[in-house]
Structure 1
Amino acid sequence: MSLTADQTYVRFVCFEMVERQRNRLGVFQAMDLAEQSEVAEEWALKELAALDRWFTTHLARPDFFVSGGDRYRNRRARADNQTGLSWFKPGATEHIQRMHRLKAALEACGMHVEIVTTRDPGRIIWQDDHQIVAEPGHRRF
């Protein structure tokens, strides 16, 4: 796949505090923590459940997914321990709109979500119609 300068990829990132350190957490992992939150609002929990069902049906997951956030391993590159980050493609408008809803629901449960964009996600190691997984190389997201 060749990238053009007008392609901006979108990533949603959560953070959690662990022993006073801010650690990245995938938004889908954060959904599990939100259910346990003491400040979670009922509407937000219902919205999270509905969005979880939608994304389970409408968002592919590479078969080489590695637990622990949004890290993936390329099968052919496992010996090199290469990992990647998932990004939504610019044309995945419905997915991105639903991610904004997911962001609002997570934040109503006390979880902060940041939106990160880039035109240079790194070397693409997997993709489908809606998303890519790219090795960031020296870039920090």
Structure 2
Amino acid sequence: MYIRFALGRLDPWSGAPMGFFRVAYLLQGDERVPDWLREVLREETDWFDRHLGLPARCWRGDRARLGETGICWFRPEARKHIAHAHVLKALIEEAGVAVGRLQTRDPGDVVWHDRHQIVAKPVHTTRVAW
């Protein structure tokens, strides 16, 4: 199963639940979040910056069209990355933002991949479980 961590709100570009990395970075600059929590959020995102490559391709076709943005998923064999993602999920939730863990066997049309993740364009048959 491919794994993704996301918020309940929809990303305006993809129409899919917004990924949790974006909020993790935003919380680091939010002065309402306690200093100790911002620091551990930074440590976890720094780990991902060092150990998870940026996708070279996150969309198919004309990027400006809504619904054309690819969705990032962890590959099932990326166990260490998924373990760190669970830590990041807990930290984000400590800051008061709910994060869900999604999984699917068929994420859609894969437009990019590396050893730890894929980027897929969902299709109408993509089924995701929270």
> When the two structures are aligned, how many residues end up with a matched partner?
119
Q: 5+ residue gaps in structure 1? A: 1-7, 17-22, 65-71
**Aligned mates of 1:44, 1:140 — CA distance in 2:** 34
Q: How far has the Cα of 1:41 moved from its partner?
A: 4.0
TM-score after normalising by structure 2: 0.78
Match of 1:121 among 90, 103, 107: 107
**Alpha-carbon shift at residue 62 of structure 1 (Å):** 1.9
| Aligned pair partner of 1:9 in 2, 17, 23 | 2
Per-residue Cα deviation, 1:7-61 (whole angstroms, up to 9, x for no partner): x000000246xxxxxx9432111013323163x3444322211011111111111
**Structure of larger gyration radius:** 1
Equivalent pair of 1:34/1:110 in contact (CA under 8 Å): no
Q: Which has the higher strand share?
A: 1
CA RMSD across the alignment: 2.5
* Secondary structure at 2:87 match in 1: helix
Contact 2:56/2:112 (CA < 8 Å) preserved in 1? no
Q: Unpaired runs of 5+ in structure 2?
A: 10-15
Aligned residue for 2:18, secondary structure, equals strand
Instruction: Give the fraction of aligned pairs with identical amino acids, expressed as a percent.
Output: 36
CA distance in 2, matches of 1:133, 1:56: 17
1:61-119: CA deviation from partner (whole Å, max 9, x where unpaired): 1234xxxxxxx213xx3389532111000000000000000001001101110000000
